[in-house]
Amino acid sequence: MTMPPRHPLAALGLPVGLVVANNRLLARVAVQHRAGYVLHDGRCTYKAQPAPEFLCHGLDPLQRPLVGDFVEVEAGSPPHIVRVLPRRTLLVRAAAGETYARQAMVANVDSALVLMGMDGDYNPRRVRRYLALIEGSGVQPLVILTKADQVSDAEQRRKALSEALAGEVPVYAINTKDPAVGQILAQWLLPGQTLVLVGSSGAGKSTLTNTLLGSLQQSTGEVRARDSRGRHITTARALLALPGGACLIDTPGMRELKLTGAENLAQFGDIEALAAHCRFADCRHVSEPGCAVQAALCNGKLDTTRWRDYRKLTLEREQQAAQFEKTLRRKNRKPAGRRRRDRQ
């Protein structure tokens, strides 16, 4: 196949000052399939394969090319990805199931939009879990409550959630089909910015993608009437260039949302600041004397539901971290030749 001419990737968010070997092409990973990659060179897309070293059994899966990565490509039939350029940001999730592996989701995104429908799928506690995955990654989180046209109290819900998040995370309530969403979200859609959409199946990620693209590129599907659950229409992450100059990554709805154990719970920064004032450094905030958290709960300065949510998340984070640690130790004990290939 003939390669498209080299094109500056600035339009796709390429950071300035990157040094690339002369005879190589620069591209951004748009889609990752089992059978290979689709790359974007800033103008058009083409297929490529990873160089053999990316398929090594012992390689940490986080080092493989990922949607959102800027990569160096060697021309050929097919072209090969030979190097992943340093990542500005990386979103990681815990792999589904019992594998206790950390799985990279997307690289080099500036903001992550957590979408949640205000229909039967509405669950503010799930929003907190998504935020926990994003915080600490250097990615700006936003919450997008969708299906505002289907409920009468969209603005009240938006306000309540924004307050519950202590005003730390911008919260929007929108109809994803409304062409005005481009204007509403304009400050996050500046040229060179990359956004990723995350959330349950049926939340409206692909519908929002199509509205921002101004064309029906991504397939969408009706949700189940009984409980508003989606049908997992989108099956692969896809990076798309928006007409205004930003890039958007549509993702498949997550079936399971486990913590990785490495979260930094910035959404609970106020609680962590309070805990720093407890008399004992190892205070468990139960019945210790001089506990600043218990004091704040007693005088109403700290909401008990928020405290309970925080406790649940931190406990789960500890358990997950311990499990990952154990899995990692077990893996390192196995002779390299017998290690099973990591799940993608």
Enumerate binding residues for ligand GTP (CB under 6 A): 146-147, 149-150, 175-177, 199, 201-207, 220-223, 230-234, 252-253
* Whole-number Å distance between alpha carbons of 70 and 92: 17
* Whole-number Å distance between alpha carbons of 177 and 214: 10
* Identified binder of Zn ion from the candidate list 38, 196, 197, 278, rule CB under 5 A: 278
Q: How far is CA 106 from CA 91, 93, 139, 330, in A?
A: 6, 10, 11, 27
Q: Which residues of the chain form beta strands (DSSP E)?
A: 25-33, 36-40, 45-50, 70-74, 80-84, 90-94, 102-107, 111-117, 140-146, 171-173, 194-199, 238-241, 247-250
Report the residue number, 174 or 189, with the smaller CB distance to ligand GTP: 174
Q: Where are the alpha helices (DSSP H) in 24-180?
A: 124-134, 154-164
**Partner from Mg ion, Zn ion, ligand GTP, none binding residue 283, C-beta < 5-8 Å depending on class:** Zn ion
Report the residue number, 145 or 274, with the smaller CB distance to ligand GTP: 145
Choose the binding region for Zn ion from 3-11, 16-24, 233-241, 276-284 (rule: CB under 5 A): 276-284
Dihedral pair phi/psi, residue 257, rounded to 5°: -125, 85
Report the residue number, 284 or 330, with the smaller CB distance to Zn ion: 284
What kind and span of H or E run contains 209? helix 205-213
* Least distance CB 249 / Mg ion (angstroms): 12
Report the residue number, 279 or 339, with the smaller CB distance to Zn ion: 279
Is the preceding omega at residue 78 within 30 degrees of 0, hence cis? yes
**Partner from Mg ion, ligand GTP, Zn ion, none binding residue 278, C-beta < 5-8 Å depending on class:** Zn ion
* Whole-number Å distance between alpha carbons of 74 and 71: 10
Count residues contacting Zn ion (CB under 5 A)? 5
* Whole-number Å distance between alpha carbons of 109 and 89: 6
Contact between 271 and Zn ion (CB under 5 A)?
no
* Least distance CB 100 / ligand GTP (angstroms): 24
Cα Rg, the chain, nearest whole Å? 22
Restricted to residues 214-233, the positions that interact with Mg ion (CB under 5 A) are: 233
Cβ-contact 272, 265 below 8 angstroms: yes
* Whole-number Å distance between alpha carbons of 135 and 132: 5
Contact between 31 and Zn ion (CB under 5 A)?
no
* Identified binder of Zn ion from the candidate list 173, 248, 293, 296, rule CB under 5 A: 293
* Least distance CB 143 / Mg ion (angstroms): 18
Dihedral pair phi/psi, residue 276, rounded to 5°: -65, -15
Report the residue number, 147 or 285, with the smaller CB distance to Zn ion: 285
Choose the binding region for Zn ion from 56-64, 191-199, 210-218, 281-289 (rule: CB under 5 A): 281-289
Choose the binding region for Zn ion from 58-66, 108-116, 185-193, 277-285 (rule: CB under 5 A): 277-285
Report the residue number, 116 or 278, with the smaller CB distance to Zn ion: 278
Contact between 206 and Mg ion (CB under 5 A)?
yes
Interacting residues toward Zn ion by CB under 5 A: 278, 283, 285, 291, 293
